Amino acid sequence: MRIIPGGASSRPLFSPLVKVAAVAGAALAMAMAPAQAQETVKIGLILPMTGPFAPIGKQVEAGAKLYMQQNGSSVAGKKLELIVKDDGNVADTTRRLAQELVVNDKVAVLAGFGLTPLALATAPIATQAKVPMVVMAAATAIITEQSPFIVRTSFTLPQAAVSVADWALKNKVGKVVTLVSDYGPGIDAENSFKARYAAGGGAVGAELRVPLANPDFAPFLQRARDADPKAIFVFVPAGQSATFAKQFVERGIDKSGIKLIGPGDVTDDDVLDQMGDVMLGVQTVHHYSAAHPGAVNKKFVEAFMKANNMRPNFMGVGGYDGMHLIYAALTATKGATDGEGLLAAMRGQSWESPRGPMTIDPRTRDVVHNMYVRKVEKKDGHLYNIETDTIPMVKDPVKEAKK
């Protein structure tokens, strides 16, 4: 009789019959091993899939899913599972969903984040849980500073806004009025444009801020016009550019000789064609155009349009690149999913994105990429942002100024 060490009982641990069953069970488990050995790595993708900002969620989700479709859903021997959650653009919901994904689903990565307030609300969860948070859409500069676990594949508004100022100075545009959405990215865009433009001797006539929810641009456009500028610098978030363009035309500003300039959110590829010829000639600066030349983007745009029946915009490419970053990090860690290891692997990653070359700044965990000066033109009967100039590998100017 076997004595169980430290045990109170002297009865055998297993009866012979149970032992046989256990051995058989182990053999069965070994036989099944190839199918089961592949552990699953879960990624929680939280986005506004309903409500006025659903177009952002749809683009990011489509980009992320396309990357998985093209690259297979296994990385470093692990199976990837994407869990998509709709936060309806409510920050408390984003935070609650993130918590549930971490606690219940044990996700290795949190991703998505359609608008700035949604990313900011979730940052403390990433820090507490030590789970990487890949921001694929939101674009206020401070976001990456809210947690050491945040990495960004979208863009920052100051990256584009300072380049718009440089372009406007170079082209002697003259007096500019700024009109922005009244929250993080809009205020970033206004501040960065104004500071750079003023430093170069440019004049800003008025600074107008429009509420984010259900915006009525008409009274602000009237005030902009009254200031008699040569150009209006506009930032509206993806999802609002078509409404803006409609009211711009209704006010007759397109015929007033006042130019429309700004970061490329206002000539969003997703809706540019529907905005109509009134957008022809609008000059913007941004990191992504569906018309960006090169084989990588051509393949991306074709596959995206085929899978989704819509043109990818800068949000779609943010989702695609965010998924690339997750794959690259898992490959580097050989499938290990501890948050700190994944974060370390994400820092400094460089790759060829459909947008062009792209790097995750190892210091700031923020995106570094080209800014392109573009002009809306017609190509094959459709409106596109045609790139005319490149400002190479721009870092977030707000973080560079703090160095």
Residue type, 58: K
Q: How many CA atoms lie within 13 A of 277 on its CB side?
A: 2
What's the length of the chain? 403
Tell me the CA distances in angstroms from 230 to 205, 253, 280, one per residue in order: 10, 11, 17
Total residues in contact with ligand PHB, by rule CB under 6 A: 10
Comparing CB distances to ligand PHB, the nearer of 158 and 185 is 185
Tell me the CA distances in angstroms from 396 to 159, 160, 367, one per residue in order: 5, 9, 8
* Binding of residue 285 to ligand PHB (CB under 6 A): no
State the pairing for strand pair 40-47/367-379.
unpaired
Is the separation of the CB atoms in 315 and 63 below 8 Å? yes
The token pair that represents 67 in the structure block = 């990357």
CB 136, min distance to ligand PHB, A: 11
Stretch that binds ligand PHB, among 3-11, 121-129, 137-145, 213-221 (CB under 6 A): 137-145
Binding letters toward ligand PHB, positions 222-251, x by CB under 6 A: ---------------xx-------------
Stretch that binds ligand PHB, among 72-80, 124-132, 135-143, 316-324 (CB under 6 A): 135-143
For residue 329, give the nearest of 169, 119, 109, 138 by alpha carbon. Answer: 109
* Residues of span 244-283 touching ligand PHB by CB under 6 A: 265
CB 353, min distance to ligand PHB, A: 18
For residue 40, give the nearest of 73, 4, 3, 18 by alpha carbon. Answer: 73
Q: Which of 138, 290, 342, 360 lies at the binding interface for ligand PHB (CB under 6 A)?
A: 138
Comparing CB distances to ligand PHB, the nearer of 241 and 353 is 241
CB 364, min distance to ligand PHB, A: 17
Comparing CB distances to ligand PHB, the nearer of 265 and 366 is 265
Residues that bind ligand PHB (CB under 6 A): 115-116, 138-140, 184-185, 237-238, 265
